[in-house]
C-alpha cells in the first residue's frame, strides 16, 4: 500500500487584491492511494475527492492523481467546459521544474502552491520524534469514566469552541472532513496547545514496530519553538493505542542529562532549545474506543521551567485531557453516523430505484417487506440477442464484453424506472421489470408498453447483433421480498412471470421486437383506439412452451420504423394491410391452410412473422395436425424459431 501525504505551510499574509486573510499554520493529511482509480485533487471539498482548502494557490479542481501500483501519475487539469473554462493558475512543480504531468515514485514529492505532496511507500520510515529521545517526568492515565469527574475551572473558552460544532459538522460529508473540522475545534478550545492531529497505527504494523501515521494535523504556529516539523511521540501513541487504551498525558524533560545516549544530537539540540527558552514539551494522546487504531494527539509546551510544580500551566493539562476525551467521543459517534450514511448510500444502489425512497421511512419499508403480497401486476421481460455468443468470443476480454452488456442493461432498467416500474433483477443479459407493487397505477399496462417501446427503439439496430426481444403480460402474482431467509430480494412469483419469459421467447420465432398477451393487447387498444401511440397485430392462438393454456398473442410495435427492423406495421400501409393480415391469421386458426398459405405468401412474403406461420404449415404438410390427445386442430400452436 502507498499513501499520499500533503503538508501545507501558511504564512501570515493577505491575498493581493483581496480582503481575505489566510489563517497561518501548518496543515497536513495522509490518505491511502486506491490502485487504478482517478482521484480529483483541489481546494474545494465539494468538487474533489481530496482537498487542501487552506491553500488558496490551489484551484478548486487542480489535478488528477492515479496510482498504478508502482508510480503516482499526476496530471494538471485541462479545460473542462462549462465548469472549468481555464486551466489552473499555478503549475505543478516536480524536481524543481514546472510539469503538466509527472510520475512520482516512493519518497518523491511534487508541489502545488504552498503544499508539498509526498508519496509514502510501504518501506518509508516515519521521522523520529525529538521527545522520544528523553525521559518522561510526568505521566497521567485516565479512563473515560474517570475524566467525567474532572471539573473545568474556566469552561467559557471551551464552550465558545463547542458553539462552532454545528457549523463545522454541517460541512462534513466524509471521515477526512470530520477529522479536519474536529482539529479546528481542538486548536480553538485549547489555547496552550501548539498542534492537534489524528494519528493511527498502520494495520499491517508488526509488534515492536514504532510506525505511526499522521492522518490529519493542524499546527497553530509551525515556527514557534520548534526546529523541525511537528512529529508525534511514537512511543506515546503505541502505548495508548496498542496497550493501555486510556487517555495518557506525557510531560518530557528538557534536561540534557536526561537524553538517552542512543538518540542523535539533533534531538538534544531540539530539546536543548526548548530548555533554554523555559519551554517543556507535553502531549495528550486519547484513543478511539470504537475498535479502530486511531487516536487524537494534542501537544504543546509548558512555559515554566519546573514542569512538575508549574501553575497554572501544569494544572490545566488534566482538564485538557477531559476535553480531548469529549472530542474523541464526538468523533466516534459522528464516524458511526457517517458510516451508517455511507451504508445507506451503498444499500440504495442495490435496491430498485423506485423503492429507494422507502429507505427513509423504515416503518413503511418494514411493512412492505414483511409479507409478500398477491397483486395484479404487469410484467415486462427483456432479453438481449447474441450476447452469450459474444461473451464466449470475448472470453479473453470479459471487461470489454461486460461494458457493452452494462450499457444495454442501463437502457432497459432506466426505461422501466422512468415509467414508474420496479426492476426486479437481472437474469444474465436480461431484465425483469414490473408494475403494480408497492404502488398501484390504473395505467400500469400503458406504462409497461411505453417502457418496452423505448427499450426497443433504443436497442434494436444499435446492438452488436442488432436484436433484442421483449414480452409483456398482466395477471396475478406474489410480489415483495422473496427468496431464502439469508438472501432475499424484491421479486415476483407466479405463472404470469413465466408467461412473460415465454412471450419474449416467441419474438425469436416471429422475428419481431415485442410480443404481448391478449389481456395486455385489449387494454392497449382501449387506451389508444386510433393507433397514435403504438400499433398492434394478432399473431394467432399460441401455446407457450412448457404451458397448456392457449392465448392470443399480439405484436406491439412503434408507430414509426426503427432502423434495422422496418415492417409494414410501422409504415403508412398499416391501416390498409391490417384487415388482410387479420384475415390470413383467422384462416390459419380455423384450419383453412390453403387459403392462409396463399394469403401469407402472396401478400406478406417479406414479413418474418408470416414466415413463422408458413414454416409451421410446411412442417405439417399443409394439414392441420391433431393435438396430443388425438383431437382435431383447435387453432393453437407453439411458434418455433427457424432451424
pLDDT of the residue at 13: 52
Task: Return the minimum-mean-pLDDT range out of 135-144, 322-331, 529-538, 570-579.
Answer: 135-144
pLDDT of the residue at 14: 44
Using DSSP, state whether 475 is helix, strand or coil.
strand
- State the pTM of this model: 0.68
Phi (first) and psi of residue 442, to 5 degrees: -65, -25
> pLDDT exceeding 90 applies to what percent of the chain?
56
pLDDT of the residue at 310: 44
Q: Is residue 75 over pLDDT 60?
A: yes
- Average pLDDT (381-400) is 71
pLDDT of the residue at 269: 44
Residue 508 CB partners (closer than 8 Å, separation 6+): 385, 469, 641
pLDDT of the residue at 195: 94
In angstroms, rounded to a whole number, what is the distance separating the alpha carbons of residues 82 and 375?
Answer: 48
**Nearest to 234, CA basis, from 219, 220, 250:** 250
Task: Return the minimum-mean-pLDDT range out of 44-48, 447-451, 621-625.
Answer: 44-48
In angstroms, rounded to a whole number, what is the distance separating the alpha carbons of residues 306 and 437?
Answer: 75
pLDDT of the residue at 330: 94
pLDDT of the residue at 517: 97
DSSP H helical ranges for 154-233:
156-162, 165-170, 175-189
pLDDT of the residue at 411: 87
State pLDDT tens for residues 147-205: 999 989 888 888 888 888 888 888 788 899 899 999 999 999 999 899 999 999 987 77
Q: How many residues does the chain have?
A: 643
In angstroms, rounded to a whole number, what is the distance separating the alpha carbons of residues 232 and 195?
Answer: 10
pLDDT of the residue at 185: 93
CA torsion, points 404, 408, 413, 419, in degrees to nearest 10? Answer: 150
**Nearest to 88, CA basis, from 102, 98, 103, 73:** 98
**Joined grid coordinates for residue 184:** 479546528
User: pLDDT tier at 342 (50, 70, 90 boundaries)?
Assistant: confident
In angstroms, rounded to a whole number, what is the distance separating the alpha carbons of residues 127 and 119?
Answer: 15
* Cell 510506525 -> residue: 211
State pLDDT tens for residues 309-329: 444 456 689 999 999 999 999
Using DSSP, state whether 402 is helix, strand or coil.
helix
Q: Is residue 465 over pLDDT 60?
A: no
Q: Name 249's bridge partners.
A: 140, 284
pLDDT of the residue at 129: 82
DSSP 95-113: TTEEESEEEEPTT-EEEET
**Strand ranges across the sheet with 50-51:** 50-51, 39-42, 63-67, 72-76, 101-104
**C-alpha triplet 152, 236, 321: angle, nearest 5°:** 5
User: pLDDT tier at 487 (50, 70, 90 boundaries)?
Assistant: low
Contact call for residues 250 and 139 (beta carbons, < 8 A): yes
Task: Return the minimum-mean-pLDDT range out of 42-56, 92-106, 379-393.
Answer: 379-393
**Strand ranges across the sheet with 294-302:** 97-99, 92-94, 109-112, 115-120, 3-10, 25-32, 213-219, 193-200, 294-302, 280-287, 247-252, 136-142
How far is the CA of 603 from the CAs of 29, 566, 579, 591, 600, in angstroms?
76, 16, 12, 19, 6
CA-based end-to-end distance of the chain = 56
- Average pLDDT (242-263) is 78
* Cell 472470453 -> residue: 395
User: pLDDT tier at 17 (50, 70, 90 boundaries)?
Assistant: very low
The secondary structure of 588-621, three-state, reads HHHCCHHHHHHHHHHHCCCCHHHHHHHHHHHHCC
How far is the CA of 288 from the CAs of 32, 143, 526, 570, in angstroms?
20, 12, 66, 68
Using DSSP, state whether 121 is helix, strand or coil.
coil
Mean of per-residue pLDDT scores for the chain: 86
pLDDT of the residue at 323: 95
> pLDDT exceeding 70 applies to what percent of the chain?
86
- Average pLDDT (473-498) is 87
> How many CB atoms neighbour CB 486 within 10 A?
5
Highest-scoring range by mean pLDDT, 217-226, 390-399, 550-559 = 550-559
Task: Return the minimum-mean-pLDDT range out of 207-211, 604-608, 631-635.
Answer: 207-211
**Joined grid coordinates for residue 438:** 408497492
Of the two residues 484 and 475, the one the predictor is more confident about is 475
pLDDT of the residue at 347: 75
User: pLDDT tier at 525 (50, 70, 90 boundaries)?
Assistant: very high
Task: Return the minimum-mean-pLDDT range out of 255-269, 379-393, 408-422.
Answer: 255-269
Q: Is residue 401 over pLDDT 80?
A: no
User: pLDDT tier at 389 (50, 70, 90 boundaries)?
Assistant: low
**C-alpha triplet 412, 413, 419: angle, nearest 5°:** 100
**Nearest to 541, CA basis, from 582, 512, 569, 570:** 582
Give residue 325's Cα distance to chain centre: 33
In angstroms, rounded to a whole number, what is the distance separating the alpha carbons of residues 39 and 630?
Answer: 71
pLDDT of the residue at 104: 97
State pLDDT tens for residues 256-305: 676 655 444 444 445 555 555 567 899 999 999 988 899 999 999 887 54
In angstroms, rounded to a whole number, what is the distance separating the alpha carbons of residues 109 and 105?
Answer: 8
Q: Is residue 394 over pLDDT 80?
A: no
Of the two residues 615 and 275, the one the predictor is more confident about is 615
Amino acid at each position: 500500500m502507498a499513501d499520499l501525504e500533503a503538508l501545507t505551510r501558511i504564512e501570515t499574509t493577505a491575498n493581493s487584491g483581496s480582503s481575505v486573510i489566510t489563517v497561518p499554520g501548518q496543515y497536513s493529511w495522509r490518505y491511502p492511494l486506491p490502485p487504478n482509480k482517478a482521484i480529483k485533487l483541489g481546494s474545494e471539498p465539494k468538487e474533489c475527492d481530496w482537498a487542501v482548502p487552506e491553500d488558496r494557490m490551489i484551484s478548486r479542481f487542480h489535478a488528477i492523481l492515479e496510482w498504478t501500483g508502482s508510480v503516482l501519475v499526476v496530471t494538471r487539469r485541462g479545460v473542462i467546459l462549462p465548469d472549468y473554462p481555464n486551466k489552473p493558475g499555478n503549475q505543478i512543480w516536480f524536481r524543481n521544474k514546472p510539469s503538466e504531468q509527472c510520475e512520482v515514485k516512493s519518497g518523491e514529492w511534487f508541489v502545488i502552491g504552498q503544499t508539498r505532496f509526498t508519496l509514502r511507500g510501504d518501506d518509508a520510515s516515519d521521522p523520529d520524534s525529538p521527545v522520544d529521545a528523553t525521559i518522561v517526568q510526568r505521566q497521567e492515565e485516565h479512563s473515560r469514566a474517570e475524566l467525567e469527574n474532572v471539573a473545568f475551572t474556566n469552561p467559557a473558552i471551551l464552550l465558545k469552541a463547542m458553539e462552532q460544532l454545528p457549523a463545522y459538522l454541517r460541512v462534513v460529508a466524509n471521515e477526512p472532513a470530520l477529522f479536519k473540522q474536529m482539529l479546528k475545534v481542538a486548536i480553538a478550545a485549547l489555547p496552550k496547545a501548539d498542534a492537534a492531529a489524528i494519528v493511527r497505527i498502520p494495520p499491517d504494523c508488526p509488534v515492536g514496530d514504532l510506525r505511526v501515521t499522521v492522518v490529519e494535523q493542524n499546527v497553530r504556529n509551525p515556527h514557534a519553538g520548534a526546529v523541525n516539523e511537528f512529529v508525534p511521540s511514537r512511543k506515546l501513541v503505541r502505548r495508548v493505542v496498542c496497550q493501555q487504551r486510556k487517555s495518557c498525558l506525557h510531560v518530557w524533560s528538557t534536561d540534557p542529562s536526561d537524553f538517552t545516549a542512543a538518540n542523535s544530537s539533533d534531538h538534544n539540540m531540539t530539546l536543548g532549545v526548548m530548555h533554554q527558552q523555559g519551554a517543556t514539551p507535553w502531549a495528550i494522546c486519547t484513543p478511539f474506543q470504537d475498535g479502530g487504531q486511531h487516536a487524537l494527539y494534542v501537544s504543546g509546551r509548558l512555559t515554566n521551567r519546573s514542569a512538575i510544580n508549574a501553575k497554572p500551566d501544569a494544572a490545566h493539562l488534566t482538564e485538557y485531557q477531559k476535553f480531548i476525551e469529549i472530542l474523541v467521543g464526538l468523533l466516534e459517534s459522528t464516524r458511526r453516523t457517517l458510516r451508517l450514511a455511507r451504508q445507506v448510500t451503498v444499500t440504495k444502489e442495490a435496491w430498485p430505484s423506485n423503492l429507494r425512497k422507502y429507505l427513509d421511512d423504515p416503518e413503511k419499508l418494514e411493512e412492505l417487506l414483511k409479507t409478500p403480497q398477491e397483486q395484479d401486476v404487469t410484467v415486462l421481460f427483456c432479453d438481449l440477442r447474441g450476447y452469450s455468443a459474444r461473451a464466449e468470443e470475448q472470453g479473453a476480454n470479459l471487461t470489454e464484453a461486460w461494458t457493452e452488456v452494462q450499457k444495454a442493461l442501463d437502457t432497459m432498467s432506466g426505461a422501466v424506472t422512468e415509467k414508474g416500474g420496479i426492476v426486479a433483477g437481472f437474469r444474465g443479459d436480461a431484465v425483469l421489470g414490473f408494475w403494480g407493487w408497492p404502488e398501484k397505477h390504473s395505467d400500469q399496462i400503458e406504462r409497461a408498453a411505453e417502457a418496452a417501446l423505448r427499450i426497443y427503439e433504443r436497442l434494436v439496430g444499435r446492438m452488436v447483433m442488432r436484436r433484442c426481444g421483449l414480452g409483456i403480460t398482466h395477471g396475478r402474482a406474489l410480489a415483495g421480498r422473496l427468496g431464502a431467509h439469508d438472501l432475499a430480494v424484491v421479486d415476483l412469483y407466479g405463472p404470469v412471470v413465466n408467461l412473460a419469459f415465454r412471450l419474449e421467447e416467441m419474438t425469436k420465432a416471429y422475428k419481431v421486437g415485442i410480443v404481448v398477451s391478449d389481456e395486455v393487447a385489449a387494454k392497449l387498444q382501449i387506451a389508444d383506439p386510433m393507433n397514435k401511440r403504438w400499433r398492434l397485430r394478432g399473431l394467432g392462438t399460441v401455446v407457450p412452451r412448457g404451458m397448456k393454456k392457449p392465448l392470443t398473442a399480439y405484436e406491439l410495435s412503434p408507430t414509426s420504423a426503427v432502423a434495422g427492423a422496418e415492417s409494414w406495421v410501422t409504415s403508412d400501409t398499416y391501416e390498409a394491410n391490417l384487415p388482410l393480415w387479420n384475415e390470413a391469421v383467422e384462416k390459419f386458426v380455423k384450419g383453412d391452410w390453403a387459403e392462409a398459405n396463399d394469403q401469407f405468401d402472396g401478400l406478406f412474403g417479406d414479413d418474418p412473422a408470416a414466415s413463422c406461420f408458413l414454416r409451421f404449415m410446411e412442417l405439417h404438410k399443409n394439414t392441420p395436425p391433431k393435438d396430443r390427445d388425438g383431437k382435431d386442430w383447435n387453432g393453437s400452436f407453439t411458434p418455433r424459431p427457424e432451424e
